[in-house]
């Protein structure tokens, strides 16, 4: 649902220059590339580029820039780029190749992505993403990524949520792992050639700016505790999302907001932090012992049917509940898309059924995902060929055979659409600081469609950043002075980073970072999770401030900082989550509408769908840090829709 648009209350901030090309949307990227400055091959070796993060976005960007001849320094928090969280992606990657001849096109992928994000994304960036999607598949096939294939040898596709075509390429249930291995292979080739220098087990603790430009970073060696300064002509942040602010999420435990938050405090605007994605198909919470949750791929909804009993409190085993006593509620509510509605829609529907007393399992916080019909229709071997590793994972965790009984699933935090604000060229409000992949805000609006995260990460790294970073260096590189890392600017930021770590070590309290993090996660889930309201959000701000004060009075860190100390690592990340979470709640409180994954209970239709307010909130909210204890300043980027016209987001017909 949407209201009439008059633009009467949305004022574009003069501080935000999106640099959207002056051309029709389908021609913008070509127009932009044609106008860009270049760096000659002989001059590229003069420039150093830092890439923080080596998941799909970081590995592909580092490899591509090194292939062009730049000197690249790549930093990963793990012991190897192969352990980046991109490895966990299961279901697939979208591309508009129309192999099934079922009506797909670049425009349809573009429009469905904008619509899936509830018209809260920048359409120029989304169209570019759709237009380069086919190139990503070609690149990955050339690298040897083992995509699933049809009997005749052509690449196979399947459907994901929010679409009515088959455009998702996949490697069974291990797509992220295989794509990351492809990016890793080309990255390590550049390491072998000496063009990329790898820095494993490093955590970025701060960003250094000189004369207003990003010129380096401060890192801590996680093995020996040493602080390091690293200089460059440009810095690329590819550090993923902040879903672990909720403590329980499908993210790897190392995923954090620290790099992005430090950049925010140095002048990079943070956009739409309240936009978080709740994935509908996750293994439900089973107790307080858990430190994370496990995703069950959205691809399972191609063959699995979601249902709950029609009667409240029906505890019969699933096979004993006849068809007439089952409510296939997604198929009932959304007949045009059925079980393949977008993630935010499916998640809210599951929550509504469970809240109304129709949930299953011991907690009542689960619904069934049933494959009996697919097995009867296609045969057990066919279902195993598509999903066997996912069924095996489910059985290892739950000790239940999903070939014989339905899976039990429930929504969980999975992805964050908010991130550092970037312009069309992926450059933040700090010149020379580029932000790629999930760490930026630009492509998914208020809800990401399934199989689009891998697409964005590789699009940014392989096909966008190599142009835009070159344009930046071609324009400003010759005017930059050399920096050695010993300048006052570096020394000052290094001292601040050391001071934060020493402050944490000096508390000597009684509560572990994990205990405090779990408490923060409960606050965020209860008041800023799948459903939000003004009273709850205001309550959350007070609770966050109290918990932050408790952290600095009572956190316990055993050991020292001069060696491997994972408790200290976690504490630093929790400290940043305790600051970031307040901004996230403030953004949710400010946005008096419901859109995508941001569901304000005060703003919903009669049948419980999102109620947008395009007149007052058709903008990206970019927040500027104004100092500790000061209210951040809101800057608005008005969102224009000239190619994807505003419409009610309808998945019922």
The string of pLDDT tens digits covering residues 596-638 is 999 999 999 999 999 999 999 999 999 999 999 999 999 999 9
Residues 6+ apart with CB under 8 A from 472: 234, 425, 427, 431, 432, 434
Question: Is the pLDDT score of 4 beyond 80?
Answer: no
5 or 332, which is more confident? 332
Identify whether residues 247 and 132 lie together within a single domain. Answer: yes
| 567 CB neighbour count, 10 Å cutoff | 15
Asked if residue 314 is part of any domain, the answer here is yes
Any idea what DSSP says for residue 249?
S
What's the rounded Cα separation, in Å, for the pair 261 and 244? 14
Convert the pLDDT of each residue in 456-475 to its tens digit: 999 999 999 999 999 999 99
Q: For residues 264 and 240, what is the distance between their CA atoms, to the nearest angstrom?
A: 15
Of 177-181, 483-487, 524-528, 545-549, which range is least confident? 483-487
Identify whether 385 is part of a domain.
yes
Domain boundary among 393, 414, 435: 414
Q: In terms of domains, do 153 and 38 share one?
A: yes
Catalytic residue among 343, 348, 408, 573: 343
Q: Does pLDDT of 249 surpass 80? A: yes
Measured distance CA(97)–CA(26) in Å, rounded: 17
Residue 243 and residue 416 in contact, taking contact as beta carbons nearer than 8 Å: yes
Task: Give the count of beta carbons closer than 10 Å to the beta carbon of residue 249.
Answer: 27
What mean pLDDT do residues 343-365 have? 96
- 651 inside domain: no
Q: How many domains does the chain have?
A: 3
Predicted pLDDT at 8: 55
Is 343 among the catalytic positions?
Answer: yes
- Indicate which CATH number applies to the domain containing 550: 1.20.58.100
Query: 643 in a domain, yes or no?
Result: no
User: What is the mean pLDDT of the segment spanning 8-31?
Assistant: 94
CA 206 distance to own-chain centroid: 21
Query: How many other C-beta atoms can be found within 10 angstroms of the C-beta atom of residue 508?
Result: 9
Q: Are residues 120 and 249 in the same domain?
A: yes
Q: Which of 276, 230, 282 is nearest to 257 (CA)?
A: 276
Assign 3-class secondary structure to 84-131.
CHHHHCCCCEECCCCCCCCCCCHHHHHHHHHHHCCCCCCHHHHHHHHH
Q: Is residue 640 part of a domain?
A: no
Sequence-distant contacts of 611-614: CB under 8 A, at least 24 apart: 611/1, 612/1, 612/2, 612/3, 612/118, 612/119, 612/649, 613/3, 614/2, 614/3, 614/4, 614/5, 614/119, 614/646
* Cα distance between residue 245 and residue 584, in whole Å: 10
> How many residues in the chain?
653
Q: Which residues contact 358 (CB under 8 A, 6 or more apart)?
A: 308, 309, 310, 311, 312, 327
> Does one domain contain both 181 and 219?
yes
Q: What is the mean pLDDT of residues 470-494?
A: 95
Same domain, 199 and 322: no
pLDDT band at 6 (very low <50, low <70, confident <90, very high): very low
Q: Which domain holds residue 504?
A: 488-619
Give me the mean pLDDT over the 388-415 stretch. Answer: 96
The partner residues of 598 in beta bridges, in order of sequence, read 595
* pLDDT over threshold 70, residue 7: no
φ and ψ of 364, to 5 deg:
75, 5
Examine residue 178 and state whether it is found in any structural domain, yes or no. yes
pLDDT at 109 over 60: yes
Domain termination residue (choose one: 448, 479, 510): 479
What pLDDT, in 10s, does the model give residues 594-606? Answer: 999 999 999 999 9
Which strands form 419-420's sheet, in the order they lie side by side? Answer: 419-420, 270-271, 619-624, 633-638
Q: How confident is the model at residue 568 (pLDDT cuts 50, 70, 90)?
A: very high
Cβ count near 252 (within 10 Å): 19
| Cβ within 8 Å of residue 200, ≥6 positions away | 76, 78, 79, 80
Residue 80 and residue 114 share a domain: yes
CATH assignment at residue 376: 3.90.700.10
Residue 289's pLDDT band, with cuts at 50, 70 and 90, is confident
Same domain, 213 and 70: yes
Residue 228 lies in a domain: yes
| 339 and 364 part of one domain | yes
- Averaged pLDDT, 175-202: 98
Residues 304, 195 share a domain: no
Q: Using the predicted structure, report yes or no on whether residue 588 has a pLDDT greater than 90.
A: yes
Domain identity same for 269 and 245:
yes
Phi, psi of 389 (to 5 degrees): -65, -30
Q: Does residue 51 belong to any structural domain of this protein? A: yes
Q: Are 235 and 296 within one domain?
A: no
d(CA 456, CA 468): 15
Which tens digit of pLDDT belongs to each residue from 160-176?
Answer: 999 999 999 999 889 99
Please, what is the average pLDDT of the chain? 96
CA 277/CA 347 separation, integer angstroms: 9
For residue 3, the model assigns a pLDDT of: 43
Q: Please report, for the domain that includes residue 105, its CATH number.
A: 3.50.50.60
Secondary structure string (H, E, C) spanning 277-343: EEEEEECCCCCCCCCCCCECCHHHHHCCEEEEECCCCCCCCHHHCCHHHEECHHHHHCCCCHHHCCH
Q: Say whether both 410 and 421 belong to one domain.
A: no
Domain-ending residue, one of 358, 388, 414: 414
Q: How far apart are the first and last CA of the chain?
A: 14
């Amino acid at each position: 649902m949407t209201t009439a648009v008059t633009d009467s209350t949305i004022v574009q901030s003069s501080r935000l220059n999106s640099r959207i090309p002056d051309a029709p949307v389908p021609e913008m990227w070509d127009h932009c590339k044609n106008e860009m400055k270049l760096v000659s091959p002989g001059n590229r070796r003069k420039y150093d580029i830092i890439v923080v993060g080596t998941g799909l976005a970081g590995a592909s960007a580092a490899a591509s820039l090194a292939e062009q001849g730049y000197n690249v320094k790549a930093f990963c928090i793990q012991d190897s780029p192969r352990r980046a969280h991109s490895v966990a992606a299961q279901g697939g990657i979208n591309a508009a190749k129309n192999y099934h001849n079922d009506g797909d096109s670049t425009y349809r992928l573009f429009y469905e992505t904008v619509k899936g994000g509830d018209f809260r994304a920048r359409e120029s960036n989304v169209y570019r993403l759709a237009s380069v999607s086919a190139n990503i598949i070609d690149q990955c096939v050339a690298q040897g990524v083992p995509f699933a294939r049809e009997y005749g040898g052509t690449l196979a596709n399947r459907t994901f949520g929010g679409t009515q075509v088959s455009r998702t390429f996949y490697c069974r249930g291990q797509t992220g792992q295989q794509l990351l291995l492809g990016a890793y292979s080309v990255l390590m080739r550049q390491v072998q050639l000496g063009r990329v220098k790898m820095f494993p087990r490093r955590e970025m603790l701060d960003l250094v700016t000189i004369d207003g430009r990003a010129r380096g970073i401060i890192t801590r060696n996680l093995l020996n505790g040493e602080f390091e300064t690293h200089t460059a002509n440009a810095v690329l942040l590819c550090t993923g999302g902040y879903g672990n602010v909720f403590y329980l999420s499908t993210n790897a435990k190392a995923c954090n907001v620290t790099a992005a938050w430090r950049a925010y405090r140095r002048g990079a605007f943070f956009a739409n932090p309240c936009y978080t994605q709740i994935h509908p198909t996750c293994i439900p919470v089973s107790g307080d012992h858990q430190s994370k949750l496990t995703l069950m791929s959205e691809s399972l909804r191609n063959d699995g049917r979601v249902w709950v009993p029609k009667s409240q409190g029906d505890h019969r085993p699933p096979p004993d509940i006849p068809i007439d006593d089952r409510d296939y509620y997604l198929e009932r509510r959304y007949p045009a898309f059925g079980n393949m509605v977008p993630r935010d829609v499916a998640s809210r529907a599951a929550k509504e059924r469970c809240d109304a007393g129709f949930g299953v399992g011991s907690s009542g916080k689960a619904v069934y995902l049933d494959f009996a019909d697919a097995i009867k229709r296609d045969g057990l071997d066919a279902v195993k060929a598509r999903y066997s590793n996912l069924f095996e994972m489910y059985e290892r965790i739950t000790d239940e055979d999903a070939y014989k009984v339905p899976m039990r699933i429930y929504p969980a935090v999975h992805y964050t659409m908010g991130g550092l604000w970037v312009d069309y060229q992926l450059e933040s409000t700090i010149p020379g600081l580029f932000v790629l992949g999930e760490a930026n805000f630009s492509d998914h609006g208020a809800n990401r469609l399934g199989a689009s995260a891998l697409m964005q990460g590789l699009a940014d790294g392989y096909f966008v950043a190599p142009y835009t970073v070159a344009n930046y260096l071609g324009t400003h590189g010759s005017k930059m002075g050399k920096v050695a890392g010993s300048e006052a600017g570096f020394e000052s930021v290094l001292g601040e980073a050391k001071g934060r770590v020493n402050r944490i070590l000096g508390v000597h309290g009684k509560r572990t970072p994990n205990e405090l993090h779990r408490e923060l996660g409960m606050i965020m889930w209860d008041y800023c999770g799948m459903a939000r309201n003004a009273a709850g959000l205001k309550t959350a701000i007070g609770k966050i401030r109290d918990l932050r004060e408790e952290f600095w009075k009572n956190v316990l860190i055993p050991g020292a900082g001069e060696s491997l100390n994972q408790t200290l690592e976690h504490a630093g990340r929790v400290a940043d989550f305790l600051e970031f979470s307040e901004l996230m709640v403030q953004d949710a409180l400010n946005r008096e509408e419901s859109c995508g994954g941001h569901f304000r209970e005060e703003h919903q239709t009669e049948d419980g769908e999102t109620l947008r307010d395009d007149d007052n909130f058709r903008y990206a909210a970019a927040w500027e840090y104004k100092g500790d204890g000061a209210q951040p300043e809101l800057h608005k980027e008005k969102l224009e829709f000239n190619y994807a016209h505003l419409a009610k987001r309808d998945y019922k017909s």
